[in-house]
Structure 1
Amino acid sequence: MRALPKPQAVIFDWDDTLVDNWNTAFKALNTALVHMGAPPWTEDEARRRSGPSAKDLFTQLFGADRWKEADKVYYDTFCALVLDNVRLHDKAEDFLNALQKNNIYMAVVSNKRGHLLRKEVEHLGFNRYFGKVIGAGDAAADKPDPAPLLLSLEGSGIPPGPAVWYVGDSHTDMMCALRAGCTAVLIETKPPPEDLLIKNPPTGRVRHHGDLMELLDRHFG
């Protein structure tokens, strides 16, 4: 694994980075598509096209006049399923505990609707780890714009830069991190197609949270 700068802060995406909600999100997405009269996506297509916030995605697909209809079906389906099905990725909490032990600032930046994101974080009892939990609609723009990542650092005393790792699973996450001037770390829980990473290559790549622990140990072990 490529060595990364010593971190002062580690910011995380949420879905498919810390938690595995993919099956729930995939089912909710296809429920919304079918409701809108569109064909359901294959899993490969969903992985390729996912990343923008639901508002941005459904506006692209159905226009400014109909995105709210698709959005409501998506979130109604997702909310009905998620809390009974959310699970942590292996060793994710071990990594959070290691960061906390070393007094490294942590936050979450996701394109999931802010109130729903914070409900999931609270459900898992993870509020104790994060200085801020930023979701879609909380900043002036959503990922891949750097605004939510910059917002997550406000008040921490830590400026954006290489000492801030942003860990995510999508090309949208890599774009956000690089635009903010931070270290972009791709965690390959469900890696995006390689062609989507060409213009926004990650600074580092890891397979799982165990690899992140190893990178952290190089600085603090």
Structure 2
Amino acid sequence: MKAVFFDWDGTLVDSLPLLFAAHNHVRANMGLPLWTREEYAEAIVYSTRELYPKIYGEKSEEAQEMLYSYVQENHLKELILIEGAREVLEYLAEKSVPMGLVSNKRHDVLRREVEHLGWQKFFGVYNGAGAAPRDKPSGEPILYAIGLHPDKPDIGNVIYVGDTESDLSAAKEAGCPVIFIRHGKDAEALISLYKPAYVVDSLAELKEVLIKTL
């Protein structure tokens, strides 16, 4: 049986306004110029635990704590569902398709968001940054999550759904086909480079692709 694993931010929920504000909150407090949206998009290919040591050096831990304090204070009240997300998950659940989540959001924060929405019922596993030894863009967290899933799907039967280069890279390294949700100025270049199995522009389109392929 096919299984579908998802990214979280930008795929099922819209956390961009919150995370953009959170990272710039840290930069302001660390005396660095604020990121533009373009600079932010380039930076978040990596998880915070891998990115922040490169930016803040010996102050990385302090910066991470500042970021997570801001996120924890605001993330549940600012959590926005992307249109069609619930419908896609409910459709897959009705068809008994195994599902999982692999995100670069810190693991404990991801779990709180999933459980706040009551969506733990959809996922056999939901892992954030730090759950696996490495984070996306490595393929390791996808393989790690598959190994933890109660249905133990074969990697060849797992479809990964994401919206960033980090997702495309992780799926390619893990060896599973990817459905790419196209948005952002670099989307066409990423499609050309990674050649995803399918490209969609919305979760409504994603549902149609899944209906045809599962």
Determine what percentage of the aligned residue pairs are the same residue.
Answer: 35
Contact 1:16 1:189 in 2 (8 A): no
Structure 1 segments (4+ residues) deviating >2 Å: 188-203
* Alpha-carbon shift at residue 200 of structure 1 (Å): 2.9
1:125-180 CA-to-partner distances (Å, cap 9, x unmatched) read 0000000011111111111111110121114231112x311111110000000100
Alignment pair present for 1:126 and 2:107: no
Letter in 2 for 1:158: P
1:39 to 33, 37, 59: 33
1:26 to 20, 39, 42: 20
SS at match of 2:102: strand
For residues 191 and 183 of structure 2, the distance between their equivalents in structure 1, rounded to whole angstroms, comes to 15
Structure 2 equivalent of residue 159 of structure 1: 154
Structure 1 equivalent of residue 71 of structure 2: 78
1:110 to 103, 114, 117: 103
Structure 2 equivalent of residue 88 of structure 1: 81
Cα 1:199–1:112 shift into 2, 3 Å: same
TM-score, with length taken from structure 2 = 0.93
Cα 1:215–1:53 shift into 2, 3 Å: same
Contact 1:170 1:191 in 2 (8 A): no
Higher mean C-alpha displacement, 90-99 vs 49-58: 49-58
* Alpha-carbon shift at residue 217 of structure 1 (Å): 2.0
SS at match of 2:212: helix
For residues 106 and 167 of structure 2, the distance between their equivalents in structure 1, rounded to whole angstroms, comes to 16
Structure 2 equivalent of residue 218 of structure 1: 212
In terms of fraction of residues, the more helix-rich structure is 2
Higher mean C-alpha displacement, 71-80 vs 185-194: 185-194
Alignment of 1:179-190 (within 5 A): 179-190=173-184
1:46-101 CA-to-partner distances (Å, cap 9, x unmatched) read 112212111111111122x2211111111111111111110211111100011111
Alignment pair present for 1:178 and 2:175: no
Cα 1:201–1:38 shift into 2, 3 Å: farther
Which 5+ residue runs of structure 2 have no aligned equivalent?
Answer: none
For residues 41 and 197 of structure 1, the distance between their equivalents in structure 2, rounded to whole angstroms, comes to 25
For residues 111 and 39 of structure 1, the distance between their equivalents in structure 2, rounded to whole angstroms, comes to 24
Structure 2 equivalent of residue 149 of structure 1: 142
TM-score, with length taken from structure 1 = 0.90
Letter in 2 for 1:33: R
Higher mean C-alpha displacement, 142-151 vs 191-200: 191-200
Cα 1:192–1:28 shift into 2, 3 Å: farther
For residues 45 and 90 of structure 1, the distance between their equivalents in structure 2, rounded to whole angstroms, comes to 26
Structure 1 equivalent of residue 61 of structure 2: 68
Cα 1:150–1:199 shift into 2, 3 Å: same
Higher mean C-alpha displacement, 104-113 vs 190-199: 190-199
Letter in 2 for 1:22: L
Letter in 2 for 1:136: A
Query: Relative contact order: is structure 1 or structure 2 higher (C-alpha 8 Å, sep ≥ 6)?
Result: 1
* Alpha-carbon shift at residue 212 of structure 1 (Å): 1.0
For residues 200 and 34 of structure 2, the distance between their equivalents in structure 1, rounded to whole angstroms, comes to 31
